[in-house]
Chains A and B, each alone.
Chain A
């Protein structure tokens, strides 16, 4: 069982490109090409795939081979939400995905952009320091001084490029930007034009090409969407992404994703399903405040998302590989669990300890196995 895996070609592949993480259109290039070649449905102007094919790319082909490739599911959750999102992107409204942290909003946005526009890299990261220039365009000052305002001196923003080439632009964490910066988007989204008063003639106005649209994401734990201006809200259709409802799916996802990440970082470690199951159970209990068998526990104030579970598994895996026997066990999980739970609230430690003393203890006796290991590993909880 503890047989070590050979390093996979995927790991080697990513090493040769020298990227920590390839953009989706490269990672899934084969799938996208297959989908495109088999796609005989009508495509909205500027789209690489038909809406149906986009859906298949994200929700999978259900084992069916398309153009010689079986498309695996990438997003676990409400497929109807994916349908609505795709349909929205084909309309003249932007798509705004909101939800708790780590619910795959960014992932969805990346997949949508890759499938619809062939690129997911036209992205703006919203922060408190985001300026209007970063959204519209800026200048190469050397050229500006030498030539004056010319198209050559203009440095396009991702938004500018997306409009010009008719592609999707991703705007991450849009609510973190100052309101006046957010409002720059209002006219762009409604008129679909961008004025460049410094340039002359045709260059002074950029008309968005078909295929252009914006996918925004916003985190409901951050400064809320209610602080967005009504004008901007009106230009978006909202979709709420929920945490994965089905425990089985969550386990499968955590196992697959963490396996992939560990592979990519060239680490050789066994991640077994039973360990992941326990980790996901712990996360779900502390997230919902209720165990699967109906016992009340204290909800952690920290967000315990699926993404967080992946990252705990990932760091526990690294830990096991460098310091352990290459077998990812409950002890490594326990050590990294603490880090995940204890982020911004010291009370969470108390809750975690209480959880160990009640739920973990009980299960260590009734279910045994990994739960018993986990209970033994409680010594790693800080005093």
Chain B
């Protein structure tokens, strides 16, 4: 039985949707879908028959130089042409674009070049270069890397959706498989391509002129036609069917070249690729599903082998799928194939058999794992390889050059390397550190910091050394290549990434985030960018209305000013002036702490840090007034959290703004209040701000002690956690000193007979604090029960 012509099946109406392709002329137009084995087969057949002088293929013109590598016997598919463009516009940040053009064994484009070479034709890519495409299409850069072969138009098409319904298939891809992949072997090439053209014309029929122009298809088609016009002799031109629909009638026009300010702003290289990346179902911008399925078919593998292998995988993952199931599934594939009139089973026939046979139970319960496994299986894991002559993307070369200069390994080794870097004394070590940080910033797996100062988050900044562990892995290279769109060198890529993040942060207006990224810039050795970022952060600080954020900015800037060697930012005058600017802005914002409800600890740290920073940056004199007034305001604000009020009190006392007597009075007022936790929190803030209070103002301790003694046990238990926090500020020696003075207070003038309150007694014993807490709670509970049950009266004399 000879298969029905797909064109008749797709478009039974007269007149047909699209005029038949011209054959037997100087130019043969072949419409294809990318990654289609059926197209690859027939493209090869036609080229062998026509024996053209030129084989032209849709794809970036500047990739023509890579065709030799595509045909190199050492090249293993899948590979991808990777092309990047850095777009620079006046008064605007550079925009970074990158796109893939994947090639696998059954790519029709590759088949065209292979057979073209066989018949001695000239081979060329004839589409716009990537920069030309970006400019023509006004591409917006986004995070993802694009695919030059996406076929979204097919999924969106209403016309095709109608045909799907009529022919009982699920979607445009299944329709394609049903019409072409399932029966291309017995088909006549002309009839095959007429069918493809009709299919693609249906996809294009939803496009109007403006959509065509918006996606710059017109410009690209004119360029491709121009390439046809500029050669002599017989031509076969292979393009996505979307374009072939109009190409014979298009008027050729030479594309307008894009002038690059720098050669490195555009690159086109060949890189290895893998099937995970090729599978659109994994979310990549690719036009195909289940590459492994088609690979097997292309290699002449049988579906039985696929079924057996999948069954084995399902079994090894704990599912059951014995030989009987394999037989049943094979039968099912075979019967579905016949039922649907396919010459060879399609991907959907295969998956349907899996659904029927391997899922024992409900599809949305038992079926989920099986189907996920099937999808993964059909994706495959193949990874390609390119010959060394294919060259490497500039960023990879830069990485290797730098790593070698710094004495770091760039090959896979069994054990990880370790580098101990002396940040303060060795310039070379500093360079290594910056190299590691740059890679980390652009998320290339290479080095991990195991120890060292963290200047960006202000953690352990006193450390002098950094310890890095590092190793090169294949993922290092593929990640690098992906980042190539950010630039041709690591410095460029890191800077571009940083600036991109910085733009977002600036838009959000959080100064501390901005300053953190500035610190990151210095840590990565991107001083030039650091300076520019500092200028841009200035207005952000001036308008930031969060005390914590501004105070953190101030601290980070202060640190930048003083961490001389590792960061080398100390020479920037602007750092200094900005730290001061931030300090004053923070001072202005101190009273707003009254409105802060949550993350008290962070704000408390920020407040105390701010006061300490002043000592380091106020070299030119005393900013006393600037600080005292807002602190007073905070202390007097009854809306403010007692923690902040305590801290304000401590800071003012440290400034001699409060006398010892005033202080004692305040403390006593807070502690003696009706809510004892308020007192506890006040002391907590107080101690955090100025722990010397214990020694400088012994009256305070006395006051606290006095209050504690008068306290009921219940109150004591509630205030204890706050006091504990408060006194945890002290160093061990200070704790001893405080304990000594408290015990002096307790014994002095006290009758040895008088028992202290049980809680206080507990503290002087070998009890832990939690024992004491527990004890007093138990005591309270027991006496409550005793009262309730009237035991008291029973035993009262």
- Nearest chain B CB to A244's CB is how many angstroms away? 15
10 contacts between A and B (CB under 8 A): A62-B166, A80-B352, A84-B332, A84-B355, A87-B356, A88-B332, A234-B360, A238-B356, A239-B356, A240-B364
Q: Are A230 and B362 interface neighbours, CB within 8 A?
A: no
Q: Are B362 and A240 interface neighbours, CB within 8 A?
A: yes
Q: Are B170 and A234 interface neighbours, CB within 8 A?
A: no
Count of A-B contacts judged by CB separation below 8 Å = 75
Assuming the contacts A80-B352, A237-B328, A238-B356, asked whether A220 and B339 have C-beta atoms less than 8 A apart, the reply is: no
Q: A83-B352, A91-B335, A234-B360 are in contact. List 19 more A-B contacts (CB 8 A).
A: A52-B339, A80-B170, A84-B332, A86-B339, A88-B356, A90-B335, A98-B361, A98-B362, A224-B361, A230-B320, A234-B324, A234-B325, A238-B356, A238-B362, A238-B363, A239-B356, A240-B363, A240-B367, A242-B364
Q: Whose C-beta in chain B lies nearest to the C-beta of A100?
A: B362
Q: Are A87 and B325 interface neighbours, CB within 8 A?
A: no
Q: Are B352 and A238 interface neighbours, CB within 8 A?
A: no
Q: Are B331 and A91 interface neighbours, CB within 8 A?
A: yes
Q: Which residues of A contact B320 (CB under 8 A)?
A: 230, 234
Q: Which residues of A contact B352 (CB under 8 A)?
A: 80, 83-84
Q: Is B336 an interface residue (CB 8 A)?
A: yes
- Measured between alpha carbons, how far is A234 from B352 in the docked complex, in Å? 17
Q: Are A87 and B332 interface neighbours, CB within 8 A?
A: yes
Q: Are A238 and B361 interface neighbours, CB within 8 A?
A: yes
Q: Which B residues have a C-beta under 8 Å from some C-beta of A?
A: 166, 168, 170, 320, 322, 324-325, 328, 331-332, 335-336, 339-340, 348, 352, 355-357, 359-367
- Measured between alpha carbons, how far is A86 from B340 in the docked complex, in Å? 12
Q: Which of A87, A98, A233 contacts B336 (CB 8 A)?
A: A87
Assuming the contacts A80-B170, A83-B340, A84-B356, asked whether A91 and B332 have C-beta atoms less than 8 A apart, the reply is: yes
Q: Mark A90-117, 1 if CB is under 8 A from B, else 0.
A: 1111000011000000000000000000
- Measured between alpha carbons, how far is A62 from B352 in the docked complex, in Å? 23
The 4 closest A-B CB pairs, nearest first, are: A240-B363, A237-B356, A87-B335, A233-B360
Q: Which residues of B contact A234 (CB under 8 A)?
A: 320, 322, 324-325, 360
Q: Is A6 an interface residue (CB 8 A)?
A: no
Q: Which of B331, B336, B339, B359 contacts A238 (CB 8 A)?
A: B359
Q: Whose C-beta in chain B lies nearest to the C-beta of A78?
A: B170
Q: Is A249 an interface residue (CB 8 A)?
A: no
Q: Mark A191-228, 1 if CB is under 8 A from B, else 0.
A: 00000000000000000000000000000100011100
Q: Is A350 an interface residue (CB 8 A)?
A: no
Listed residue (A62, A90, A92, A238) with the most chain B CB atoms within 10 angstroms of its CB: A238
Q: Are A84 and B362 interface neighbours, CB within 8 A?
A: no
- Measured between alpha carbons, how far is A232 from B199 in the docked complex, in Å? 45
Listed residue (B325, B348, B363, B364) with the most chain A CB atoms within 10 angstroms of its CB: B363
- Nearest chain B CB to A318's CB is how many angstroms away? 35
Q: Are B356 and A225 interface neighbours, CB within 8 A?
A: no
Q: Which of B336, B357, B362 contacts A220 (CB 8 A)?
A: B362
Q: Which residues of A contact B325 (CB under 8 A)?
A: 234
Q: Which of A83, A99, A226, A233 contacts B339 (CB 8 A)?
A: A83
Q: Whose C-beta in chain B lies nearest to the C-beta of A190?
A: B324
Q: Whose C-beta in chain A lies nearest to the C-beta of B333?
A: A87
Q: Which residues of A contact B361 (CB under 8 A)?
A: 98, 224-226, 233, 238
Q: Which residues of B contact A91 (CB under 8 A)?
A: 328, 331-332, 335
Assuming the contacts A91-B331, A99-B362, A220-B362, asked whether A51 and B339 have C-beta atoms less than 8 A apart, the reply is: yes
Q: Whose C-beta in chain B lies nearest to the C-beta of A230?
A: B320
Assuming the contacts A83-B339, A88-B356, asked whether A237 and B362 have C-beta atoms less than 8 A apart, the reply is: no
Q: Which residues of B contact A230 (CB under 8 A)?
A: 320
Q: Is A79 an interface residue (CB 8 A)?
A: yes
Q: Scan residues 120-159 of chain A and give those whose CB is less than 8 A from a CB of chain B.
A: none
Q: Which residues of B contact A51 (CB under 8 A)?
A: 339
- Nearest chain B CB to A7's CB is how many angstroms away? 37
Q: Which residues of B contact A226 (CB under 8 A)?
A: 361, 366
Q: Are B340 and A237 interface neighbours, CB within 8 A?
A: no
- Measured between alpha carbons, how far is A305 from B331 in the docked complex, in Å? 34
Q: Whose C-beta in chain A lies nearest to the C-beta of B352?
A: A84
Q: Which residues of B contact A98 (CB under 8 A)?
A: 361-362
Q: Which residues of A contact B357 (CB under 8 A)?
A: 93, 237
Q: Are A238 and B360 interface neighbours, CB within 8 A?
A: yes
Q: Which residues of B contact A242 (CB under 8 A)?
A: 363-364
Q: Whose C-beta in chain A lies nearest to the C-beta of B168?
A: A79
Q: Whose C-beta in chain A lies nearest to the C-beta of B169?
A: A80
- Nearest chain B CB to A105's CB is how many angstroms away? 12
Q: Whose C-beta in chain B lies nearest to the C-beta of A85?
A: B356
- Measured between alpha carbons, how far is A220 from B168 in the docked complex, in Å? 28
